Chains A and B, each alone.
Chain A
Amino acid sequence: MGDVFVIIEHRRGEIRDVNWEMLNLASQVAPEMGGNVVSVLLGSGVDEFTEKLSGACDKVLYVEDALLESFNADKYQRVLSSIIDEHQPKIVMVGHTAQGVDLAPALAVEKDLPYLTELVGLRIEDQKPVGVRQYYQGKVNAEFSFADADTYLFTVREAAFEPMEANQKGSVEKVESPLKEELDYRKFIEYQEAEVGDVDITQSDVLVGLGRGVREDKNMPLMEELAGLLGADMCGSRAAVDAGWLPHDRQVGTSGKTVKPKLYFAVGISGAFQHLAGIKGAKTVVAINKDPNAPIFAEADYGIVDDLFKVVPKLNEKLNEMKG
């Protein structure tokens, strides 16, 4: 059986994006192994998802059990272990997410599966998978083959693949839950919302960095709008903090914080060595500065050499349009 099982991650009524991306990837490899794409959905009150999922795969297998009300890696592991035994999928995919990494390694050890994490590429050669993952924060790719096995387990990187369009009519099948009782050694207590309060910029995913080029306090609303549209926290170089636009805990650099966001948007920052040292962990750097020789551009992935007061208002307009 060459089926590809995609373990669907959902939380508080929402199916996360990575699932549609995995279903798309699955749809590309399953045919080459002569199998189907199967969504595997565990939870309580999850029948509402089955229809939506069936539009993006060949079959939905779901387990409806009050014991699965909230995600619990151990319970998921037990159910999936039994499903794998019974259905013998060739490939099992899990999102490389907080939920995924809590579950996949244990499942891999329990069932002694070939296991590769955070795939950014997957292809089939001679009916066997070949996976690609990255090392050193995306600077090096590594290609892996695997020992022959009945089932392979992979975790898949988020936003690495295009999402699946819902254009099918898959079947839906309910599976009996093998769970008999609550686990005593791992109990879910509750979810707690993120605190709206002090921001720890060293943990922020998106940051707008302000530099001297912002010039005056009265330009802050423009920057705040940009930050709001990008879902960003604000930070800055020493100049921005000295000028009083930001409190000291937002300073980035050797005498401030070190940040590692997915996106660092540098506005009016020249890029002194001491500041750059604080952003070397940033995945993508975008910089706007009117000086083409500003050192920030050596660190940036995208740059605009222009007057930020002309560019940012237009950018805000565009971002607003895209949201609306």
Chain B
Amino acid sequence: MRRFVYDTYDQEMLEELSRLPEVWDCTGCRTCEVRCPKGLKPVEVLYALRNQMVETGKVEPTVRDALESVFLEGNPWNKPRATRFDWMEGLDVKIAQEGEQVEYLFYVCCTVAYDPKLQVVAQNLVKLMEKAGANYAFLGEEETCCGSEVEALGEEELFQELLEENTELFSNYPANKIVTLSPHCLTALKKYQDLKPEVIHYTQLLEELVREGDLTFDGEYSKKVVFHDPCYLGKQNGIYEEPRQVLKSIPGLELVEFNRSRERSLCCEGGGGKMWVETSSQQERLAETRARDARELEAEVIAAACPFCVLTLDDAVKAVGHEEEMKVQEITEILGELL
């Protein structure tokens, strides 16, 4: 590690170093941090290296495009700001009003907002909040990227800008809790020092509502489900039980466990900016290994609680040819079937 940092003073060395798989294949899952007996954080060093590359302007075109997109349009998907809330069409969504206190202020992830496959997560949460009679609101047009992947890709300066922008934004919309849809947003927002409300993930909110009887489910969902712990929910925020409690509250659902679960969960390789950087490894993608593990358990559904996990695992299930017997569903998608 130390050699890496000294070598970056030399531009050519920097370029050569940045081509090492260690630098751009890291997903930021933090398994190393969780396990390091000396409490070290190697990911910080790798991200610092990425930062060096970003500041020379020499990054992969896909990284360039994602970062420019966040800078100009507030999301990494090259989509216009103006269409960020198209997912709300047809729904009666409570929008936060400046100065008005709410219990739960929702923060929608860029990927959930723009990807047609994932918009159902936000849509179902609205329905669930209505069903539970919760005091909630969604941020309106000013919502912009949390910067999670921006930081992971090394654009520290842009991340700081987003942090400031969002902190200011949240100060105008008082809430008891800020609820994120993605564990990546959760992790990023928790880095913002000056947020007054507590930042939680939606599974924590749902668990509370279920536990207090405010949310019950009729009907049945008789399937064998295995829950995949997202690295950014579990390893980085210690949230393991809440998603499981929610799933167990569903009538008919049989919950099974991966051998590698909780802190030992196998990263799906969606985080750490990986949605925009291809892995140079020739090995099978970890998500595919995960899909095979699920098949061995004879699970019919892999339940996910992170938009990146949904996407990578979905691809993986098809890649290993099990899409007939097994599917990937976000927890809110499962709950949606019971609404």
Seen from chain A, the residues whose Cβ lies within 8 Å of a Cβ on chain B are 212, 238-239, 242-243, 248, 251, 254-258, 272-274, 277, 295
Task: With A255-B275, A256-B278, A277-B78 as known contacts, state yes or no: A212 contacts B318, CB within 8 Å.
Answer: yes
What 0/1 readout, one digit per residue, does chain B (15-26) give for beta carbons within 8 Å of chain A? 000000000000
Q: How far is the CA of A212 from the CA of B276 in the complex (A)?
A: 20
Q: Which of A239, A242, A243, A273 contacts B114 (CB 8 A)?
A: A273
Chain B 124-172 interface residues, beta-carbon cutoff 8 Å to A? none
Does B208 touch A at the CB level, under 8 Å?
A: no
In the assembled complex, the CB of A11 is this many whole angstroms from the nearest CB of chain B, namely 33
Question: Across the interface, do B278 and A239 meet the contact criterion of CB distance under 8 Å?
Answer: no
A242 to chain B: which residues have CB within 8 Å? 285, 319
A106 CB to nearest B CB, Å: 34
Could you list 16 examples of A-B contacts with CB < 8 Å? A212-B318, A239-B318, A242-B285, A248-B278, A251-B278, A254-B77, A255-B62, A255-B275, A256-B62, A256-B278, A257-B61, A258-B65, A273-B117, A274-B115, A274-B275, A277-B77
Task: Select the residue from B116, B275, B277 with max chain A CB neighbours within 10 A.
Answer: B116
Q: Which residues of A contact B274 (CB under 8 A)?
A: 255
* Closest chain B CB from A239 CB (angstroms): 6
Which 8 A/B pairs are nearest by Cβ-Cβ distance?
A273-B115, A255-B278, A255-B62, A255-B276, A212-B318, A273-B116, A254-B276, A248-B278
User: How far does the alpha carbon of A242 sit from the alpha carbon of B311 in the complex, in Å?
Assistant: 15
Asked if B66 lies at the interface with its beta carbon under 8 angstroms from chain A, I say yes
Q: In the complex, which residues of chain B have a beta carbon less than 8 angstroms from the beta carbon of A212?
A: 318-319
User: CA of A251 to CA of B277 in the docked complex: distance in angstroms?
Assistant: 12
| Closest Cβ–Cβ distance, residue A4 to chain B (whole Å) | 43
Contacts of B62 in A (CB 8 A): 254-256
Which one of B66, B285, B315, B318 contacts A254 once the chains associate, using CB atoms below 8 Å? Answer: B66
Which of A239, A248, A256 contacts B315, CB < 8 Å?
A239
In the complex, chain B residues whose CB is within 8 Å of the CB of A254: 62, 65-66, 77-78, 275-276
A297 to chain B: closest CB distance in Å? Answer: 13
Contacting residues of chain B (241-284) with chain A, CB-CB under 8 angstroms: 274-278
How far is it, in angstroms, between the C-alpha of A277 and the C-alpha of B66 when the chains are bound?
12
Q: How far does the alpha carbon of A243 sit from the alpha carbon of B65 in the complex, in Å?
A: 26
> Chain A residues near B77 (CB, 8 Å)?
254, 273, 277
Please give, as numbers and ranges, the residues of chain A lying within 8 Å of B311 by CB-CB distance.
272, 274
C-alpha gap A254/B270 in the complex (Å): 13
**Would you call the interface of chain B mostly helix, strand, loop, or mixed?**
loop
| Additional pairs, 17, CB under 8 Å, beyond known A254-B276, A255-B274, A256-B62 | A212-B318, A212-B319, A238-B315, A239-B318, A242-B285, A243-B319, A254-B62, A254-B66, A254-B77, A254-B78, A254-B275, A255-B277, A257-B61, A273-B116, A274-B115, A274-B275, A277-B77
Interface residue count on the B side (C-beta < 8 Å): 20
Q: Which residues of A contact B276 (CB under 8 A)?
A: 254-255
In the complex, A54→B78 CA distance in Å? Answer: 52
Complex alpha-carbon distance, A255 and B24, angstroms: 13
Binary contact readout B57-78 vs A (1 if CB under 8 angstroms, 0 otherwise):
0000110011000000000011
Residue in chain A with minimal CB distance to B78: A277
A248 to B61, CA, bound (A): 14
Q: How far is the CA of A272 from the CA of B276 in the complex (A)?
A: 15
Within 8 A of A (CB), among B65-94: 65-66, 77-78
Considering only CB atoms, which chain A residue lies closest to B316 in the complex? A242
- Min Cβ gap A209→B in Å is 16
Residue numbers in B under 8 Å from A251 (CB-CB): 278
Within 8 A of A (CB), among B282-317: 285, 311, 315
B269 to chain A, nearest CB (A): 11
Distance A243 CA – B117 CA, assembled complex (angstroms): 23
Which residues on A sit within 8 Å (CB–CB) of B275?
A: 254-255, 274
Nearest opposing residue in chain A for B76, CB measure: A254
Tell me the smallest distance from the CB of B292 to a CB of chain A, in Å: 15
Residues of B close to A238: CB separation below 8 A: 315
Within 8 A of A (CB), among B94-137: 114-117
User: How distant is A257 from chain B, measured CB to nearest CB, in Å?
Assistant: 8
Interface contact B277-A295, CB-CB below 8 Å: no
A273 nearest CB neighbor, chain B only:
B115
Q: Nearest Cβ distance between residue B24 and chain A, in whole angstroms? A: 11
A255 to B274, CA, bound (A): 8
Query: Which residue of chain A has its CB nearest to the CB of B274?
Result: A255
Give complex CA distance A87, B149 in Å: 65
State which of A239, A255, A258, A295 has its C-beta within 8 Å of the C-beta of B319. Answer: A239
CA distance A212 to B77 in the complex (A): 23
Query: How far, in Å, is A238 (CB) from chain B's closest CB?
Result: 7
Measured CB to CB, the nearest residue on chain B to A298 is B116
**Chain A residues within 8 Å of B114, by CB:** 273
Q: Which residues of B contact A255 (CB under 8 A)?
A: 62, 274-278
Residues in B neighbouring A257, C-beta threshold 8 A: 61
Taking the closest CB of chain B, its distance from the CB of A73, in whole angstroms, is 33
Q: Chain A CB within 10 Å — which of B115, B278, B285, B311 has the most?
A: B278
- Distance A238 CA – B117 CA, assembled complex (angstroms): 17
In the complex, A239→B275 CA distance in Å? Answer: 14
Q: Closest chain B residue to A258 by CB distance?
A: B65
The minimal Cβ–Cβ distance linking B283 to chain A, given in whole angstroms, is: 11
Min CB–CB distance A128 → chain B (angstroms): 40
Which one of A212, A243, A295 has the greatest number of beta carbons of chain B within 10 Å? A212
B182 to chain A, nearest CB (A): 15
Q: How far apart are B276's CB and chain A's nearest CB, in angstroms?
A: 6
Q: Find residues 4-62 in chain B having any chain A CB closer than 8 Å to their own CB.
A: 61-62
Q: Which residue of A lies closest to B118 (CB)?
A: A273
